[in-house]
Structure 1
Amino acid sequence: MNYTYCVIGGGIVGLATALELTERDPGARILVLEKERAVATHQTGHNSGVIHAGIYYQPGSLKAGLCRAGAEATKAFCRDNSIPFETCGKLLVATNPLELERLAGLENRARDNDISFETVSAARLRGLEPNIAGLGALLVHATGIVDYRKVCEVMAAKLAERGAEIRLGTQVTVITEEGQSVHIRTQDGGTVTAEMLVGCAGLQSDRIARLAGMDVRHRIVPFRGEYYTLPRAKSNIVKHLIYPVPDPDLPFLGIHLTRTIDGRVTVGPNAVLGFSREGYKKGSTNLSDVASLVSHPGFWRMARNNLKSGISEFRNSLLRRHYLEECRKYCPSLTLDDLGEPGAGIRAQAILDDGTLVHDFLFLQSQRMLHVCNAPSPAATSAMPIASMIVDRLVGAREGEGHGNTVS
């Protein structure tokens, strides 16, 4: 069958892109292909559910602007579609003098990013959160929580209402760009032809781009974010989200306490190298994914550059008492028995040949295709403005502004 646009990937970025296309091009025939049996199966359905305010990002940067716009758009979408969410606020807690110094820098960043916050003394912190210990904190008012899987289910329903087609359980095996069309073959033997293709394949984004003949010079490396859910009896242990002050020398944020929209509290995640891009159980290994890791020179360079933090994260993963030590920095009353039901999400981290972790957007584009190879955290919060940016690029390519196999 012939379509105007084909979107590969039924996560929140793919679905938001398809929705944006229905707004910009109402007469278009739109198809979403998702290899799993449900939308939001991987990164979107396994994330923390936080609606981020954007305090961490460089003022004036694309990520900062997209995060602020995305938080507003996400909350508006939830209000318009009766999706439960809560703006509970986030406390960035300093637990030592160095972190207290870094907190001052975050205050300046919050002002520059026009993010509402309060400086919280140690005494006020005890009043706000009696179970949390710290020398001081920043309270970021706009941070919220939501179930992004539910957001995606509503997006999928709206797409169906607007005449778009979503095919679940449909894996793409061949992509060929020829002249004015892109031909997509699927595992069931079917063939789809589209004028434009958008790849939003997350953990498989490099493979889909390579399948399409793009010049892929990065590799997706999976990082497991392992967390524990506290017992129901501890669901009121915090009123806000409790986050660390980021260490600029570390690639990931660190363990924190997160309230969820279903009334629970999780602690985590850590960030350990995964040996399966889609294996959520501890110890999951996929030989193809391991081969992809070890054959990439950038992986070894990245590993050498982050050896110390990597060892620490693996130690915390293997030994619950070490994991507990990280949690008790903020919440000293926690015990090993409180580390209840385990869970994990997997982050698709793009790594370049020189070992650089890609923290910005990475697109591969041709005349008829746009592959989103890296949509940096917080992609779920920012999904709607990211979708608008993707569609801007698509429209430019369709109108003849594409310039071959481009990277940005």
Structure 2
Amino acid sequence: MATTTSGSDSVETRIYDVAIVGGGIIGLSTAMQLLERSPNLSVAVMEKEPELARHQTGHNSGVIHSGIYYRPGSWKSRFCVGGKDRLIEFCDQNEIEYDECGKVIVATHESELGRLQDLYERGVANGVPDLEVVDSERLTEIEPHTVGVRALWAPHTGIIDYTQVARAYAGKAQGSGGDIFTAAAVKSVRQTTDGNALETDRGTLQARHVINCGGLYADQLARMMGEDTDVRIIPFRGEYYQLAEASEQLVKGLIYPVPDPRFPFLGVHYTRSIHGYVEAGPNAVLAWAREGYRKSDISISETMGALTFPGFWKMTAKHWRTGMQEMHRSYRKSVFVNDLRKLIPEIQPSDLEPGGSGVRAQAVAANGALLDDFHILRGQRALHVLNAPSPGATSSLAIGEYLTDLALEDFGLQTG
């Protein structure tokens, strides 16, 4: 576990050039790269949990995305393809295990073939190598238990443990002189003549500049720092089952459906983990707390914050039918099984055991739009990462480089 380099219980040690709020994979990548580019900077990472990477980084599916889904020219496409190559190189250099097991995106009905072709063309436009549209016979060779009329085969999609990657970033940041403070939740921020005073559980940290990588609480931190933003984080819980050990042989790699382009979710799928088990899911249901990993997790204040946001109701008016379907699947295992059978017909309820869950920090605009791309606000003496959806972990080095570039430019920091 990363701790303060000073060994003190207090963060009141110095005035930092940059404080990064959030000890997830993007915040840690940014800290590492800031110190690589500008070794004389003083950089602190503030993490509210006692350990790093406890939330989105530690609860995602561990997929190394290859860049198929994203609109050419979008931040997602720009960050993902190059970011994936850099991630693989970093893992090779630092002996972090990964597996390019490959992925099939399966059209189970003729009506999906147009969307499948669109995905192929997007992937090619984004520079994803070795993409191939395969017929049902070739699909069976790749994934013997999967059925479909056609599929998109992406052989370089992979799996990894992103918590290990985040810890490696943290180690390099600390090795370059950065301080990492855990159990240091930021309660308030006030501007000072020298920059910002961040009130935390461990005292007041002084920083000339702030990079907000607060994930599920990024919007709150931005408003705490005086930013006028119409973006609100609405948490969606993704619930998974896990295949019983005797059924893991049904899945060799990654098996996905053709996604609905109206939503920033990829549909119920099968994901083999780097640790060997296979997850099935997720559905995507509204969580009643920003860290609502269980159905019973409820925060009255956070729920009211969502319900009083006009964008929430506009989003609900657009997508209530889909939301009801997701809730129905959440509470009825038989519905979940039926959706999984579209990809692997032999799946039985007995093949599924309770699995984990994650919470997606979905940014929603005041007009009800679900933000589908990265959204970074350049504020006063601060940068705010207000939306960092999948493929955020795959793209962590590319995003960290981009944030470093912005920080050096906006904050007037010196390199070298």
Q: TM-score range by the shorter chain?
A: over 0.9
What SS does the corresponding residue of 1:235 show, helix, strand or coil? helix
Letter paired with 1:310: G
Whether 1:42 aligns to 2:55 is: yes
Structure 1: how far apart are the matches of 2:73 and 2:313? 33
Aligned to 2:383: 370
Structure 1: how far apart are the matches of 2:367 and 2:353? 39
Whether 1:320 aligns to 2:333 is: yes
The correspondence for 1:152, drawn from 166, 183, 186, is 166
Q: Any residues of structure 2 matched to 1:9-408 within 5 Å, and which?
A: 9-115=22-128, 116-188=130-202, 190-399=203-412
**Contact 2:183–2:201 at 8 Å: present in 1 too?**
no
Shift of 1:205: 0.5
Shift of 1:390: 0.9
Moved more, 373-382 or 38-47: 373-382
- The CA deviation string for residues 251-310 of structure 1, in whole angstroms up to 9 with x for no partner, is 422100001000111100111111011121223111111111111010011011001111
Shift of 1:153: 1.4
Structure 1: how far apart are the matches of 2:153 and 2:42? 45
Letter paired with 1:122: S
Structure 2: how far apart are the matches of 1:155 and 1:232? 33
Moved more, 257-266 or 207-216: 207-216
Structure 1: how far apart are the matches of 2:353 and 2:292? 20
Letter paired with 1:109: R
**Contact 2:81–2:127 at 8 Å: present in 1 too?**
no
> Please, which runs of 5 or more residues in structure 1 have no aligned partner?
401-408
- The CA deviation string for residues 138-184 of structure 1, in whole angstroms up to 9 with x for no partner, is 10121000000111111112222111111100111121233442211
**Contact 1:69–1:385 at 8 Å: present in 2 too?**
yes
Structure 1: how far apart are the matches of 2:160 and 2:180? 24
Shift of 1:88: 0.7
- Percent identical: 43
Letter paired with 1:44: T
Aligned to 2:3: none
Letter paired with 1:20: Q
What SS does the corresponding residue of 1:340 show, helix, strand or coil? strand
Structure 2: how far apart are the matches of 1:363 and 1:113? 22
Aligned to 1:403: none
Aligned residue pairs total: 399
Shift of 1:330: 0.2
Letter paired with 1:13: I
Shift of 1:242: 0.4
Structure 1: how far apart are the matches of 2:88 and 2:389? 20
Structure 2: how far apart are the matches of 1:268 and 1:9? 27
Aligned to 2:7: none
Shift of 1:125: 1.2
- The CA deviation string for residues 98-150 of structure 1, in whole angstroms up to 9 with x for no partner, is 11222122222222122121221111112221111111101012100000011
**Contact 1:367–1:397 at 8 Å: present in 2 too?**
no
Shift of 1:220: 0.5
Letter paired with 1:142: H
Shift of 1:91: 0.3
Aligned to 1:404: none
Shift of 1:227: 0.6
What SS does the corresponding residue of 2:221 show, helix, strand or coil? helix
Structure 2: how far apart are the matches of 1:38 and 1:66? 27
Shift of 1:323: 0.6
**Contact 1:45–1:149 at 8 Å: present in 2 too?**
yes
Letter paired with 2:174: A
Structure 2: how far apart are the matches of 1:179 and 1:361? 31
